[in-house]
């Protein structure tokens, strides 16, 4: 797009230069010619005045008396009424630039060599060419500035739209000073919040429905188990049939949930965890350095996990931003391999006051926040991790420690993380 803008702007500049430059060149040539002829005419009038005085004093015209007023290479003629020509100076080869005016002795003709007119014209053409070149340079400069000012914001907006499509629903306060582009940025932010809310609501609904359905089915199974000892054989047979149907329904529900998790995790692939954490740390270190808080990555190295790069980075970004906004002291990202479990634990902790007890059970709930934030961040971070088959849990409330459980590369099964600190 930058190239198209540059080509379009430079094309417009070239058209403008051609439309204005060609007439300007022609006009400057005429003006130079008129200026040279005017200069010759002034000199001719001076000579005519001298000849007029000479005619009054001596009743004759002697051109040698005004030879000093005729520059070298010029020609002076006086043509009398009877056709006689008296001339001094350069011979007339037809290339001289001449000016005629009436004089007491007839017609006075003063001619200069063409070099003077040619030099003046080329000087004027050079000035026009310089102006054209300056216009081109200025036009290209303005085109580059305009292209950069338009393309850079568009690139940022394109990247944000791509991140939104990949599941990154964070908003940005960046604006560009261009009303139309700022409006697009505002719409993207509003859309991100709406989609985030809808996604979180759908996940909560699915979780609630699955929980309620499992609870109700478990209750039915318990009641049927109690009735399985009924003395009537026919009743016991029906109860056993009902238990079989209930077991099948429980199996169907579990299969549907497992299939949904598998589909969400289908885009996950083996990632070099060291490389991902290094990139995340590099993008956040300057932000933490501004508030004089160190950011460290510790623990096991050389591990590979199953995850989607953008989801893992955004989930870690939410946790780091949460520590930045609500925590204190150094922030540590600790990696630990759970040998024998096929899990890799990534913990994010700081030295802040932690999470208040009333908020602990609801820290991942939508709209719940201990400050003035939207309350969507931690819920979305959990959704990002779960979308890749992992789990995000609050490991300790004080200091606030969040743990991301990811499947080690080669283990494609969804992660079931422990709910209590380990």
- Residue 301 and residue 275: Cα distance in Å, rounded? 10
Both 257 and 272 in one domain: the answer is: no
Pick from 419, 411, 384: which is nearest to 168 by CA? 384
Pick from 393, 377, 305, 368: which is nearest to 341 by CA? 305
CATH number, position 8:
3.30.450.250
**Cβ pair 108, 45 in contact under 8 A:** no
Residue 202 in domain: yes
- Residue 315 and residue 321: Cα distance in Å, rounded? 10
pLDDT attached to residue 386? 84
Lowest mean pLDDT among 100-109, 203-212, 360-369: 203-212
Residue 211 has pLDDT above 70, yes or no: no
- The token pair at 33 is 């010619």
Lowest mean pLDDT among 122-131, 246-255, 289-298: 246-255
Both 310 and 192 in one domain: the answer is: no
Element at 207 (helix H, strand E): helix 179-227
Question: Which residues, 6 or more positions from 399, have their beta carbon under 8 angstroms from its beta carbon?
Answer: 327, 349, 350, 351, 352, 353, 354
Q: Which residue has the tokens 């499992």?
A: 214
* Sheet order of strands, 97-103 included: 85-89, 75-79, 106-112, 97-103
- Residue 369 and residue 371: Cα distance in Å, rounded? 5
Both 54 and 9 in one domain: the answer is: yes
- Domain stop point among 81, 98, 117: 117
Both 402 and 282 in one domain: the answer is: yes
Residue 421 in domain: no
Identify which has the larger pLDDT, 53 or 166. Answer: 53
Residue 170 has pLDDT above 60, yes or no: yes
Both 260 and 290 in one domain: the answer is: no
Q: How many domains does the chain fold into?
A: 3
In order of 17, 130, 131, 144, 368, the CA distances from 134 in angstroms are 10, 6, 5, 15, 61
Both 249 and 354 in one domain: the answer is: no
pLDDT attached to residue 418? 43
CA dihedral 17, 22, 26, 29 (to 10 degrees): 50
Both 357 and 338 in one domain: the answer is: yes
pLDDT attached to residue 120? 84
CA 286 to chain centre: 21
Both 198 and 312 in one domain: the answer is: no
Instruction: Residue 184: count other Cβ atoms within 10 Å of its Cβ.
Output: 17
Strands 269-272 and 304-307 turn out to be antiparallel
Summarize pLDDT for 353-405 with one digit per residue, the tens. 888 888 888 888 765 555 544 446 788 888 888 888 889 999 999 999 999 99
pLDDT attached to residue 266? 53
- Domain stop point among 214, 246, 265: 265
Residue 126 in domain: no
Residue 153 in domain: no
pLDDT attached to residue 305? 92
pTM for this predicted structure: 0.47
Residue 356 in domain: yes
Both 253 and 322 in one domain: the answer is: no
- Domain stop point among 242, 265, 288: 265
pLDDT attached to residue 417? 43
Element at 295 (helix H, strand E): strand 295-299
Both 278 and 402 in one domain: the answer is: yes
**β partners of residue 155:** none
Residue 17 in domain: yes
Q: Which residue has the tokens 């609630």?
A: 208
CATH number, position 190:
1.10.287
Residue 2 has pLDDT above 80, yes or no: no
Residue 309 has pLDDT above 80, yes or no: yes
CATH number, position 399:
3.30.565.10
Cα radius of gyration (the chain): 46
Both 244 and 323 in one domain: the answer is: no
Residue 232, φ and ψ in degrees, nearest 5? -80, 120
Summarize pLDDT for 32-46 with one digit per residue, the tens. 888 888 888 888 888
Range of the domain at 403: 268-407
Both 275 and 382 in one domain: the answer is: yes
Query: Mean of the pLDDT values across residues 182-188?
Result: 83
Whether the bond into 399 is cis, omega within 30 of 0? yes
Lowest mean pLDDT among 7-21, 53-67, 226-240, 254-268: 254-268
CA 7 to chain centre: 19
Identify which has the larger pLDDT, 46 or 243. Answer: 46
Identify which has the larger pLDDT, 407 or 181. Answer: 407
Identify which has the larger pLDDT, 331 or 63. Answer: 331
Residue 243 in domain: yes
- Residue 313 and residue 202: Cα distance in Å, rounded? 23
Residue 96 in domain: yes
**β partners of residue 393:** 403
pLDDT attached to residue 202? 67
**β partners of residue 307:** 269
Average pLDDT, the chain: 80
Question: Which residues, 6 or more positions from 233, have their beta carbon under 8 angstroms from its beta carbon?
Answer: none
């Amino acid at each position: 797009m930058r190239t198209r803008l540059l080509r379009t702007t430079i094309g417009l500049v070239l058209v403008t230069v051609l439309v204005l430059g060609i007439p300007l060149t022609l006009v400057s040539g005429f003006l130079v010619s008129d200026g040279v002829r005017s200069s010759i005419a002034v000199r001719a009038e001076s000579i005519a005045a001298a000849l007029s005085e000479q005619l009054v004093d001596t009743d004759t015209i002697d051109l040698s008396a005004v030879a000093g007023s005729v520059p070298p290479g010029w020609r002076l003629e006086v043509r009398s009424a009877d056709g006689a020509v008296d001339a001094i100076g350069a011979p007339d080869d037809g290339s001289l630039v001449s000016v005629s005016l009436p004089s007491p002795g007839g017609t006075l003709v003063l001619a200069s060599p063409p070099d003077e007119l040619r030099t003046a014209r080329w000087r004027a053409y050079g000035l026009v060419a310089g102006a054209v070149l300056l216009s081109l340079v200025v036009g290209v400069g303005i085109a580059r500035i305009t292209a950069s000012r338009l393309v850079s914001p568009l690139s940022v907006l394109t990247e944000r739209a791509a991140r939104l499509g990949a599941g990154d629903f964070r908003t940005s306060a960046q604006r560009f000073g261009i009303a139309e582009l700022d409006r697009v940025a505002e719409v993207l932010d509003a859309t991100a919040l709406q989609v985030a809310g809808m996604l979180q609501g759908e996940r909560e609904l699915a979780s609630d429905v699955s929980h309620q359905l499992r609870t109700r089915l478990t209750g039915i199974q318990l009641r049927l188990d109690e009735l399985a000892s009924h003395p009537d054989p026919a009743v016991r047979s029906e109860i056993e049939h009902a238990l079989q149907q209930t077991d099948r329904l429980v199996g169907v529900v579990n299969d549907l949930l497992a299939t949904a998790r598998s589909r969400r995790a289908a885009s996950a692939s083996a990632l070099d965890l060291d490389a991902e954490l290094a990139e995340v740390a590099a993008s956040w270190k300057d932000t933490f350095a501004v508030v004089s808080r160190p950011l460290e990555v510790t623990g096991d190295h050389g591990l590979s996990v199953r995850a989607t790069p953008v989801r893992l980075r955004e989930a870690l970004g939410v946790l780091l931003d949460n520590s930045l906004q609500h925590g204190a002291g150094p922030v540590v990202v600790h990696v630990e391999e759970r040998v024998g479990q096929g899990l890799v634990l990534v913990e994010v902790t700081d030295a802040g006051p932690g999470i208040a007890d009333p908020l602990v059970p609801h820290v991942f709930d939508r709209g719940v926040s201990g400050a003035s934030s939207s309350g969507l961040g931690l819920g979305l971070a959990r959704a990002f991790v779960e979308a890749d088959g992992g789990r995000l849990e609050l490991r300790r409330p004080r200091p606030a420690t969040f743990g991301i459980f990811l499947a080690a590369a080669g283990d494609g099964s969804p992660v079931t993380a422990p709910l209590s600190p380990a």
